[in-house]
Amino acid sequence: MYPFKENKDKIKDDSRIDEIIEDSEIIEKEIEKKYSKSSLYKDAWRRLVRNKLAMIGLAIVIIMAIIAIFAPLIAPYDPNARIKEVSQKGPSLQHWFGTDILGRDIFSRVIYGSRISMLVGVVAVTISLAIGLFLGALSGFFGGISDAVIMRIADIFFAFPYILGAIAIMTVLGPGVLNVFIAIGILGWSSVARLFRSSILSIKEKEYIEAARALGASNTRIILKHILPNSFAPIVVYSTMNVGTAIIVEAALSFLGLGVQPPTPSWGKMLSESLNYINTAPWLMFFPGLAILITVLGFVLLGDGLRDALDPRLKR
């Protein structure tokens, strides 16, 4: 046992006590001025907040989320209610975005459509993350054959154009909202896996990993406590941007009739339905298209901002 208590008196050489006082004084001044509470995350948050574009992105994402969650409270009409009298009417005071040929209020449909889009974002990306992180960890951490095999399979997934792949999977699974989520989720795992794997590879040989091993840490502990926290930044950024991609793919699938089934409102479906009326009722295309544009833009801006904020190189 180290006799801590006894030895404190024995410390004749005051090099250490001196240093405690000096160091703490000097560092205290330096640090107190810059950091109220020490945290890498707070640091990143401050950087993010300073980025105006990122804040716009964040605002859009939050607004869309609120709209999606509170859709029934925000939408003035039932999105599926057909009001014969007002069919094919342009934007007006009663119907801000106009109505479609069946007399349904476009504004309400766009509001409800946000649910599908936001849901796709969250569910599909979560599926990608789950598969990608697991396989990426296997691949990067253990290397060898599992690495070679997993990466070659990922390459195959990469080679497929996203939308084509989605279509292929949907034809197998059949149409439907849930299948859309699964399809998009499956397609996205390879990028996550690759990102995570390269993070693991670059961190694996770092000294703090060796230090953990030298202490006797298990592999699981090393992956969860050391590698993951240090590598999630690129994954967070990628996933945020991936939400935008997922939304577009869903819209495309719904456009092609493979996704959401009528009468559920989905922006992509609405675009599809508006094709015949481009000249006569342009508002049918305009508003859903605008909704997609703004939402995806929001995620992209946020992801971009996150990338800058989380980049450790920008720290002192």
Partner 1 sequence: MVDDKKILEVKNLKKYFNINSGVFFGKSIGSVKAVDDISFFIKKGETFGLVGESGCGKSTVARLLIRLLRPTSGEVFYNDINIFKIKQSQMFKLRREMQIIFQDPYASLSPRMTIGDIVGEPLEIHRILDKKSRINKIKETLKIVGLNPEHINRYPHEFSGGQRQRVGIARALILEPKFVICDEPVSALDVSVQAQILNLMLDLQKEFNLTYLFIAHDLSVVKYVSNRIAVMYLGKIVEVAPSEELYSKPLHPYTMGLLSAIPIPDPRLERKRQRIILSGDVPSPINPPTGCRFHPRCPNAQEICSKQEPELKNYSKDNQVHLAACFFAGQPIK
Partner 2 sequence: MNENLDDKILEVKNLKTYFYTDNGVVKAVDGVSFDLKKGETLGIVGETGSGKSITALTILGLITIPPGKIESGEIIFEGKDLLKVKINNLRHFRGNRISMIFQDPMTSLNPVFTIGNQLIEAILAHQKISKEEAYKKAIELLEMVGISDTKRRMKNYPHEFSGGMKQRAMIAMAIANSPSILIADEPTTALDVTIQAQILELIDDLKSKTNSSVILITHDLGVIAKYAERVMVMYAGKPVEFASINEIFYNTLHPYTLGLLGSVSKLNEQKKERLKPIKGTPPSLIDLPIGCTFAPRCEFALKVCKQSFPPVTEEVPGHFVACYRAKEFLNKSLSRE
**Taking the complex as a whole, how short is the minimal distance between the CB of residue 313 and partner 2, in angstroms?**
14
Contact criterion met (CB below 8 Å) for 128 and 242: yes
Please give the size of the binding site for partner 1, defined by CB under 8 A: 39
Choice between 199 and 274, CB closer to partner 1: 199
Contact string (CB under 8 A) for partner 2, positions 33-72, x = contact = xx--------------------------------------
Binding range to partner 1, per CB under 8 A, among 16-24, 77-85, 107-115, 128-136? 16-24
Q: In Å, how far are 50, 201, 308 from 246, measured between CA atoms?
A: 28, 28, 22
Which residues between 24 and 43 bind partner 1 (CB under 8 A)?
A: 24, 27, 31, 35, 38-40
From partner 1, partner 2, none, which one binds at residue 155 (CB under 5 to 8 Å depending on kind)?
A: none
Closest C-alpha among 312, 118, 155 to residue 232? 312
Site map 15..34 versus partner 2, x via CB under 8 A? x--xx--xx-xxx-xx--xx
Q: Is the separation of the CB atoms in 292 and 306 below 8 Å?
A: no
CB of 1 to partner 2, least distance (A): 28
> What b/e string do you get for 96-124 counting C-beta neighbours within 10 Å, with b at 16 or more?
ebbbbeebbbbbbbbbbbbbbbbbbbebb
Alpha-carbon distance of 241 to 248, in angstroms, equals 11
Please tell me whether residue 52 binds partner 1 under the rule CB under 8 A: no
The residue range among 117-125, 156-164, 206-214, 300-308 that interacts with partner 1, by the rule CB under 8 A, is 206-214
- Sole window of 193-201, 224-232, 260-268, 292-300 interacting with partner 1 (rule: CB under 8 A): 224-232
Among 11-19, 51-59, 83-91, 268-276, the segment contacting partner 2 (CB under 8 A) = 11-19
How near is the Cβ of 230 to partner 1 at its closest, in Å?
Answer: 5
Q: Which residues lie near partner 1 (CB under 8 A)? A: 1-2, 4, 7, 10-11, 13, 15-16, 19-20, 23-24, 27, 31, 35, 38-40, 148, 206-208, 210-217, 221, 225-226, 229-230, 312, 315-316
